[in-house]
Amino acid sequence: MDLEADDSEDFEQRPPRLLGPDDLPAQDTSRDISEAEGSAGPRRSSASATTASAALAQPDFIMEDSKLVLAEMAAFMLEVGDAEALTEHLVGGYEGAAQHCNILANWLVNFADESAEDAKSSIESSLADRVTAAFDPVAVDESIIAEDPVAFLNWLTELVQFRQWRDLIYQLAQRHSTCAFLNWAIKEISERGFEEEMKHVPAACAKLPVFCRYLSTSLSKLLAEEFDRSMEKDLEQLLDMACYGEATYLFSQVLLYNLAQTPVNGRGHTVRRLGQELEKAALARGRDVSRYSVQLCGAHHYPRATSAMQSMLAKRQLNPADMLTLYQLYKQQDPPPAALLRLPLFVQLLTDALFLPESQEINAEYLHTYVYLLAVAAAARDSSSSLDTGHSGELSLTEAAIKRASDICRSNKHVMQSVRDLIKALRYPVVAYGVLGFVEKALSDERGCDLSQVEQASVYLILVDEVATNHPHLRPRILPMLCRLFEQFHPSLDELSQLEFKVRLVDRFVHLMFVGHVEPVLDYMHGCLTSKLSDMSLLRHFVLEVLDMVEPPYTESFVRRLRPLVESPDIYNAIERKEGRDSCDSNCRCVS
């Protein structure tokens, strides 16, 4: 389905009239009248006696902004000139709501043994709950239009300086996305430099200036240096915001496309990868973005190619006729750019068709078209304007490796006898990617592999080790696959066979650490410990293998992640019983 577009009304379409210096009386405004933080809001200003009297008589008006109070007092005195009546209005309207809150806070501190900060938070939370329950977006918008714009802007500027009230605005904006006041408040918050807080506020994406500011800040951070694991959370939040609606998705992809055409500091490949990750995120949310994908890969001059590709992406199924069309176009002298074949969904469909048994029946007459197109996507190089097919040798070798590996995986027979051929083909990243999917399918489906046969299951796991050793960029894909297999229950296996299979999986986790994927593995194992997700004997085996593998010096992050595992009584005591206290202390001292 399509991304939903946000049709919320823009508050900027009806800006308030701003008062100028001539609109305020030339009175001495140096006098400071104290005010309570988080007051109910601005009051209306008028030169007429009637309006001034009504304003002065409002509850706690004397606690409002000093300039506003003095302006109303001056207007009243100019028209009425009765100081006693002025005093009666101000004193009669005083209720002391803010002072009552302060008294209540003092009671909480003195009689309930709460800290001053806790008491303040309790009162603010209660006020926020009452505002949330009674909030009427229509009434609020109507009242804001009638307010003095200067006073309102001053009040809003002060309000958004406090985190608790910004959080309240975010919460209300999630519920009332069409409220003009809340949209204006979101824009004000963004302009005050609080974009980082809006990562979990989809309503912020409804305002283009707000979204642009956030997108610019996030992309600058992600492109400033090489991507590492510490940036994963930032990337996830960026993808969430960009996938908020159809407009935000298209805007983000067009921006990334243009950045990739004029790469800065050689980061063009990173920008293209971000575009692919964004497309995958939209697909994972069930959105059909095929019409944008085929137009943003530089193939718009090849309508037959884009039409065939979009037809398959929209249906999420490969079609032999469309595949033949693409094959013929990429065989001609002026082929479309390879970027069209590198669209994430198409690559996934193609690798599944070629490597997963029983995935999609491919007519033998068309099999060569599938293999060739995947080889082009993996090995061909795009120049600035067209596809470079001059590296025919590399393309032919890639095509041959894909064909050989595909034949072995699709038949799912003679895997043990053909393991050497598979390992040779694994040096090509595209083959390694396809084989990982084949291994997971075989090990998770009882029809794919007899897990009770240790030797047979070990062959598949050897392939995983080979991919982890030679393809660092695929390690983040290997870990989730191992986690799913580790957590899966196999009803056909008895308890002992289940344990033996999972021991072999634990050895794969250790190997993944050995080749450099350390912190994600330790984080997962720590999660297994805290959630009781795994048999404790498996965690003990993991810790023993890791302690035997590592040696000083140790990084702080490594020690911080391994320490909870080592210090767990169930694990430490078992190691002590097995190796003796002296050996156990020696092995564990590094993380104690």
pLDDT one-digit tens code per residue, 22-52: 433 343 333 333 333 444 444 444 444 566 6
First to last CA, the chain: 53
| 195, 209 Cβ separation under 8 angstroms | no
Q: Which regions of the chain are under pLDDT 70?
A: 1-52, 146-148, 195-196, 199-200, 202-204, 206, 225-230, 263-266, 359-360, 382-392, 413-414, 446-455, 574-592
Per-residue model confidence (pLDDT) at position 419? 85
Task: Identify whether 248 is part of a domain.
Answer: yes
Pairwise CA distance, residues 450 & 223, whole Å: 46
Counting beta carbons within 10 angstroms of the beta carbon of residue 302, is it exposed (0 to 12), middle (13 to 18) or buried (19 or more)?
Answer: buried
- On the CB side of 198, how many CA atoms lie within 13 Å of its CA? 31
Strand partners, 387: 382
> What is the distance, to the nearest Å, from the Cα of residue 358 to the centroid of all Cα atoms in its chain?
34
Domain boundary among 230, 261, 285: 285
Pairwise CA distance, residues 208 & 356, whole Å: 43
Task: Identify whether 373 is part of a domain.
Answer: no
Domain boundary among 95, 122, 156: 95
Strand partners, 388: 381
| 246, 209 Cβ separation under 8 angstroms | no
Strand partners, 382: 387
Q: How many domains does the chain have?
A: 2
Nearest to 163 by CA among 134, 198, 129, 209: 198
Domain boundary among 249, 264, 285: 285
Pairwise CA distance, residues 29 & 68, whole Å: 9
Per DSSP, the three-state class of 498 is helix
Task: Identify whether 102 is part of a domain.
Answer: no
Task: Identify whether 229 is part of a domain.
Answer: yes
Task: Identify whether 84 is part of a domain.
Answer: yes
Per-residue model confidence (pLDDT) at position 265? 60
Hey, how many other C-beta atoms are within 10 angstroms of the C-beta on 455?
Answer: 7
Task: Identify whether 260 is part of a domain.
Answer: yes
Pairwise CA distance, residues 35 & 53, whole Å: 20
Task: Identify whether 141 is part of a domain.
Answer: no
Hey, how many other C-beta atoms are within 10 angstroms of the C-beta on 201?
Answer: 22
| 89, 53 Cβ separation under 8 angstroms | yes
Q: Which helix (H) or strand (E) holds 382?
A: strand 381-382
Pairwise CA distance, residues 123 & 129, whole Å: 10
CA dihedral 568, 573, 576, 577 (to 10 degrees): -150
Peptide bond preceding 357: is omega within 30 degrees of 0, i.e. cis?
no
Nearest to 445 by CA among 484, 418, 494, 480: 484
| 64, 40 Cβ separation under 8 angstroms | no
Interacting residues of 1 by C-beta distance below 8 A, sequence separation 6+: 286, 287, 288
Task: Identify whether 145 is part of a domain.
Answer: no
Hey, how many other C-beta atoms are within 10 angstroms of the C-beta on 67?
Answer: 16
Per DSSP, the three-state class of 182 is helix
Per-residue model confidence (pLDDT) at position 100? 79
- On the CB side of 27, how many CA atoms lie within 13 Å of its CA? 18
Residues found in the chain: 592
- Find the farthest-apart pair of alpha carbons in the chain and give their distance in angstroms, rounded: 106
Domain that holds residue 242: 210-285
| 443, 352 Cβ separation under 8 angstroms | no
